[in-house]
Chains A and B, each alone.
Chain A
């Protein structure tokens, strides 16, 4: 139950204790409580021969932010199965299949560069702080580069996180070139022999051409400094976002080649279904998920767990 950090980072052994994994699954399950209740409604009275039943299922999935294309894909897979008598179980299996294999984080190179991008207010800086903390605990020396040179307080916020995680910090002055900060960060990590560089960037609407160009430049400069970098480009996606999340993922992917998604703010009222279209239509794996404010609420994403928490067919009582 629940994917461990060691598995995500591709390390041998020292997985989290069973109790912690259980705790996390509980959090995930209660976070998806509302979404699950919407999806479970049609499952209880499902009749595979009734068009109305199928339609009800479609509606439930769409209103859980799963979106049209991913819903079609799911329903098609279900229709192909002979055994939809237990629709809940079938739905769990197909959802898991759509989400793909559990992902790993490419942190084997030294240094490995992780570029973090997303629209405004999705939680990029906090995610980096928490990720730095985890990486340190798993034996990586970390350097954080604050390439969000737009928002004045972002720098300070990140420096506090770096201190807490025992990570090096490469800061900037407000208004300076973010690509230069990214360059300095990678260069410093190379000369100091650090394992992982986390590059924070300013939030930007994916429709703002100029700012997306700026992001391309940051990526180019990192590539130029270190061959094969960035090894990961993570898109931070707010779970309260509806179908626009897919468009965000699409445009960020086009601009800087996103390798994975971090789903944040899955805090109880969010739907979370947006990860399905992102996985189905763009083939982007979710790598991390944040279910709350606490440090340990950022966790590796486990497709099997997510599928079970979303559909609730595992026989466990609801947290609510």
Chain B
């Protein structure tokens, strides 16, 4: 996400970085390029002008500190202004002292509300809440069963009723959730066009009845310029508190994030970055700005890794890794850890400096599934002591996992190489990862 914009700014400011002195002409040229890059990324024209004007003014002022080159200073200013427009702080949900906390989701058809509701519920449960889902989407017949299926998948209760009055359904669902002692209730509503007066009125009624502590607008990140119109119309009716930006796993540049924030003053709170239900992230404006500028998002990456590995697993792994061991049990654990962290592609895009080089690398998630299948077809003894795997065992493993002997061999070789690497690491030859330390 935001890759193209990051690339653009990087190539423009790369020239600035190496220049010793900043004159007005250079700044103007850079500003023009930045402006066009932002416009092309679907950022609203007024927002772009506001941003570039602020950057230019500050760049021309006497703010160049001694420790930075003038070029670095411009990068810093652009970064700060991007961050400022997108909101300068983490945007958390409001929780009431008298549970349940109610969260209302609204948005256009097809923006991804139902999926976002389930993702949000899962995220809240990881935060030690006991969430519930309420289906108030009675427009689309399949919507309730979709939510119920999702609820089942993540084992979170869904309250729905077959009434044809969404206002009553929302109210009843909320009461049921309350009586069951759930402390957060997420209400999923039907999609509606911002110019459909009748349905917008219905949304207001649902809002009145459930008295939400948080109203979230769900917005498709591919929407483009229209995002601002949509956001303003919904703000008018239900005064939402924040935005859930969806489908950022595509390659949309997501200028909508900037535009909506600037137009409504409401923060982007969450970003949906994949089809899996755990692929919802808290939106960090400052980190996102770093990412736009190609500085990577190591902080998010580290946070994810920490959440993915349970402490026991981590300690266990570390001990064996220090001993230079890497059997297939470890392989499987680390592999599943990576799965929990999200798709390889989204992980790679977060590493600083690799955005450009690896942009075209297509990580084959299918291949990773194959790896898992192969390991699961091994006996516990084979996993622990890989050297016992001879020719006939290889054939059996290949048959069991629906792969070929060749593919099994590849995996065996890969494990050996990893173990070799681990040994080197444990001897203190751990290569320093740029940007991993010293930040904050």
Contact = CB atoms under 8 A, between A and B. Distances in A.
Contacts of A271: 224-226
Interface residues of B, number: 32
B45 A241 contact: no
A298 interface: no
Contacts of B109: 121
A207 B42 contact: no
Contacts of B225: 63-65, 242, 271
A282 interface: no
Given A59-B39, A153-B142, A241 B223 contact: yes
A80 to B, nearest CB: 21
A241 to B, nearest CB: 5
A224 B374 CA distance: 34
B250 A207 contact: yes
B175 interface: no
A238 to B, nearest CB: 8
Interface string A97-125: 00000000000000000000001110000
B42 to A, nearest CB: 4
A67 B41 CA distance: 9
B261 interface: no
Contacts of A65: 42, 224-225
Given A153-B142, A207-B250, A271-B225, A242 B39 contact: no
A246 to B, nearest CB: 10
Contacts of B223: 240-242
Interface residues of A, number: 28
Given A207-B249, A269-B229, A243 B42 contact: yes
The interface centre, meaning the residue of A152, A207, A240 with most chain B CB atoms within 10 A of its CB, is A240
Interface of A: 55, 58-59, 62-65, 67-68, 119-121, 152-153, 205-207, 209-210, 240-244, 247, 269-271
Interface of B: 32, 35-36, 39-42, 44-45, 109-110, 141-142, 195, 222-226, 229, 247, 249-253, 255-256, 362, 364-366
* A-B pairs, 7 with minimum CB distance: A242-B224, A242-B42, A121-B110, A63-B45, A62-B39, A244-B252, A68-B40
Given A210-B365, A210-B366, A242-B253, 19 more contacts: A62-B39, A63-B44, A63-B225, A120-B110, A121-B110, A205-B249, A207-B250, A207-B251, A209-B366, A240-B226, A242-B42, A242-B225, A242-B252, A243-B41, A243-B253, A244-B42, A247-B251, A269-B229, A271-B224
